[in-house]
Amino acid sequence: MSQIYDVAIVGGGVVGALIARELSRFPLRAALLERGNDVAVGTTKANSGIVHAGFDAQPGTWKAKMNVRGNALMPQLCQTLHVPYGQNGSLVVAFDESERPELNRLLERGRENGVPGLRLFSREELLAMEPNVNPGAAAALYAPTGGIVSPFELCVAAAECAAANGVDFFRNFEVQALCWEGDHFIIEAPAGQLHAKAVVNAAGVHADNVARMAGDDSFSIRARRGEYVLLDSSQAGVVRNTIFQCPSPMGKGVLISPTVHGNILIGPSAEDIDEKEDLSTTAPGLAGIQKTVARTVPGYPIRDVITSFTGLRACGNRHDFVLERSAANGNLIHAACMESPGLSSSPAIAERILELVRETLGGDWTEKPGWNPGRPKPVRIRELDNDGRRAAIAKNPAYGKVVCRCETVTEGEIIDAIRAPAGARDIDGVKRRTRAGMGRCQGGFCGARVLEILARELELPREEITKFGGGSKILLRQSK
């Protein structure tokens, strides 16, 4: 390959995609490399979707700094990128007096981190705001800036924005070696080779492996499995805020939260695992979550479960984000160890990494003219009023053809998702972008139709269409 990129970002999660978007402001040649068939397929697609206020992290750490800054950037960013976001507030509940000192500690820490608006709630204040919460609770810490976001939509939107602004997106590009050539890296993958002057390592749970490819073993990552249960939107309203229990050494504990799409999410469990690919859910894990959350909302029947899933958090042995130029090779820049609050911090991390890339490459950094910070507002028939629907269908009749009944997603929306820059190539990609298949029948009805549209748009035989790339084919052969 003759072209030398200025920057290649390894990892198309929310951190990598936001870094790509940040870099796309400048007249650089940048590439976003993703080993999966789509962006947002690792930790980004399976986490709590919480925009933490920032009271949890130790003052002075990257986690604390990035979280508070990221929290402040998030609302505007989501508005610009047309990503669902809500500032619903967070509560940490102390179930008895013994936990009250923990709340005080969190309050102090939060104030030191610069989290705005924190206050302690009495039991009465807590119950007035959240009547379904354990009436025996002693007190709670309230953080009005706590929020919720759709993590995979944020990632998809950022990647779309970056791609539209000239960043090249390579999917199914699994980086296996980094060779330093004196002034640039050769990046090797089974799919091919790329040259780049600087490499940003945003490879999620695999970021330590990528670091090692450049001779950097300054940190290591273990995957911490977190299992979640998602409840039907008929359960919406049980809580308004994101409600945490007091944190433990394994994390912030089991939370219950509304999602931006009106479901209720409970989880995660926390279990350190040796393998970095194990996304299975376990019966004890799922049962444990349901049991633990019963302490937060006792007597509330956990029913209408529509799905469960597992996410892997990249827990680094430094117990903080690694945001630095590698000591082994200054042209390798780490955005690594993105455990919680990685999502909340991601907009701030993108800023920080931009500074590091600037420092690495030097030269003139003038913003290119015509940079678009957003993306076209996606048509969402389900969210439009009737005049909006009328206008949309008049422009494109495919917005009048409902494909996913549960979530009211039309053919036009699915085609848009496929045709968008860095668009969907598989069933799960369509689902993340449009919600087709995300409702209570989980694609039972629309899966076959989505597959048909993908095959048509991508000009592929239907047997080639996958659930999420690789060997995840849906149909094996034509019937007799």
Partner 1 sequence: MYDLIVIGGGPAGMAAALEAEKNGVASILILERAEFLGGILRQCIHTGFGMHYFREELTGPEYADRFVVPVEQNPRIEVKLGAMALELRPGGETHTVIAVSKSDGLLELRAKAVVLAMGCRERPRGALNIAGTRPAGIISAGAAQKYVNMDGFLPGNEVVILGSGDIGLIMARRMTFEGAHVKMVCELMPYSSGLTRNIVQCLDDFGIPLKLSCTVVAVHGKERLEGVTIAGVDERLKPIPGTEEEVPCDLLLLSVGLIPENELTRGAGVPIDPATGGAIVNQNRETALPGIFSCGNVLHVHDLVDYVTLESQLAGAGAAEYIRRKNAGETVRAPEYVPTKAGEGVRYVVPQQAEKNEAAGVKLYFRVGGVHKNAVVRLYANGKELARKKRPRLAPGEMEHIEIAPRQLAELPEGAELTVEILE
Residues with catalytic function? 52
Q: Mark the segment that binds partner 1 (CB under 8 A) among 61-69, 100-108, 128-136, 390-398.
A: 390-398
Tokens representing 213 are 């490819």
CB of 424 to partner 1, least distance (A): 16
Considering CB under 8 A, how many residues would be counted as binding partner 1? 56
C-beta closer to partner 1: residue 110 or 469: 469
C-beta closer to partner 1: residue 87 or 307: 307
Only one residue has tokens 């390894």, namely 10
- Contact flag: residue 73 with partner 1 (CB under 8 A): no
Report the half-sphere exposure of 196 (CA within 13 A, side-chain side): 28
Q: Mark the segment that binds partner 1 (CB under 8 A) among 71-79, 96-104, 156-164, 394-402.
A: 394-402
Only one residue has tokens 């009495």, namely 122
Cα 37 from Cα 223, distance rounded (Å) = 21
Instruction: Return all residues near 195 (Cβ < 8 A) that are at least 6 apart.
Output: 1, 3, 4, 5, 181, 184, 185, 186, 187
Q: Please pick, from the candidates 282, 292, 325, 458, the single residue that binds partner 1 as defined by CB under 8 A.
A: 282
- Contact flag: residue 276 with partner 1 (CB under 8 A): no
- Contact flag: residue 400 with partner 1 (CB under 8 A): yes
Q: Please pick, from the candidates 70, 110, 285, 342, the single residue that binds partner 1 as defined by CB under 8 A.
A: 285
CB of 382 to partner 1, least distance (A): 8
Q: Please pick, from the candidates 123, 212, 295, 389, the single residue that binds partner 1 as defined by CB under 8 A.
A: 389
- Contact flag: residue 448 with partner 1 (CB under 8 A): yes
C-beta closer to partner 1: residue 29 or 389: 389
Cα 406 from Cα 67, distance rounded (Å) = 35
Q: For residue 273, which amino acid is it?
A: I
CB of 159 to partner 1, least distance (A): 22
C-beta closer to partner 1: residue 97 or 283: 283
Instruction: Return all residues near 228 (Cβ < 8 A) that are at least 6 apart.
Output: 46, 48, 265, 266, 267, 268, 289, 308, 309, 310, 311
Instruction: Return all residues near 452 (Cβ < 8 A) that are at least 6 apart.
Output: 462
- Contact flag: residue 279 with partner 1 (CB under 8 A): yes
- How open is the CA angle 297-299-302, to the nearest 5 degrees? 75
Coil, strand or helix at 336: strand
Determine the distance from the C-alpha atom of residue 252 to the mean position of all C-alpha atoms in its chain, rounded to a whole number: 17
CB of 293 to partner 1, least distance (A): 14
- What x/- string results for residues 214 through 253 when contact with partner 1 is judged by CB under 8 A? ---------------xx-----------------------
363-382 burial: b if 16+ Cβ within 10 Å, else e: eeeeeeeeeeebbeebbbbe
- Contact flag: residue 58 with partner 1 (CB under 8 A): no
Q: Mark the segment that binds partner 1 (CB under 8 A) among 64-72, 80-88, 157-165, 393-401.
A: 393-401
Cα 369 from Cα 380, distance rounded (Å) = 30
Cα 384 from Cα 284, distance rounded (Å) = 41
Q: Please pick, from the candidates 175, 286, 332, 414, the single residue that binds partner 1 as defined by CB under 8 A.
A: 286
Question: CA end-to-end span of the chain, whole Å?
Answer: 45
Q: Mark the segment that binds partner 1 (CB under 8 A) among 76-84, 197-205, 315-323, 391-399.
A: 391-399
Q: Where along the sequence are the contacts to partner 1 (CB under 8 A)?
A: 229-230, 277, 279-283, 285-286, 305-309, 381, 386, 389-390, 393-394, 397-402, 405-406, 408, 410, 440-445, 447-448, 452, 462-463, 466-468, 470-480
